[in-house]
């Protein structure tokens, strides 16, 4: 995944199936801001590079997936508000979503996740 701007729109894809729209946080200010200040979030936030996250100051709990360099989910956790996660040394990026999203999407350890850059048509060419 390469992008030159923070908060770019993309799609989170697993096994050719679109899981959610995703915002990318690839610079320090956008990674630091993360989902702070929001009361809910319907998509996914991808932080890169990232090996750990916290929920201090968050208004809602998160599902968190740690991805290795190839996009494989190496760990998932549910983080309630005001928690600090442990660093995952092999992680290269993190996917955050509102608590319960991973269960709805069927995302679990071992899945390979792709980040596809968005366009005016969806990731499979359909109009969005």
CATH of the domain at 13: 2.60.120.1140
Could you tell me if residue 125 is inside a domain? Answer: no
Is 102 within the bounds of a domain? yes
Residue 2 placed within a domain: no
E strand or H helix at 11: strand 8-14
Tell me what pLDDT residue 128 has.
41
20-51-77 Cα angle (round to 5) = 55
Number of domains the chain contains:
1
- Please report whether residue 3 resides in a domain: no
> Does residue 124 form part of some domain?
no
pLDDT class of 47 with cuts at 50, 70, 90: very high
The DSSP symbol for 16 reads: T
Q: Is 0.75 topped by the overall pTM?
A: yes
Nearest to 55 by CA among 44, 63, 43: 63
Does residue 122 lie in a domain region?
Answer: no
Average pLDDT over residues 3-8: 45
- Is 65 domain-assigned? yes
Give pLDDT tens digits for 85-127. 999 999 999 999 999 999 999 999 999 999 999 764 455 544 4
Task: Tell me how far apart the alpha carbons of residues 70 and 76 are, in angstroms, rounded to a whole number.
Answer: 16
């Amino acid at each position: 995944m390469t992008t030159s701007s923070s908060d770019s729109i993309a799609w989170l894809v697993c096994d050719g199936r679109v899981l959610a729209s995703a915002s990318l946080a690839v610079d320090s200010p956008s990674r630091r801001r993360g989902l702070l200040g929001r009361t809910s979030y319907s998509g996914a936030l991808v932080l890169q590079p990232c090996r750990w996250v916290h929920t201090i100051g968050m208004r809602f709990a998160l599902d968190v997936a740690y991805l290795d360099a190839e996009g494989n989910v190496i760990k998932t956790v549910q983080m309630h508000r005001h928690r600090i996660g442990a660093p995952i040394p092999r992680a290269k990026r993190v996917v955050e979503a509102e608590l319960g999203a991973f269960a709805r999407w069927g995302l679990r350890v071992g899945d390979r996740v792709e980040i596809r850059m968005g366009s005016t048509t969806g990731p499979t060419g359909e109009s969005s």
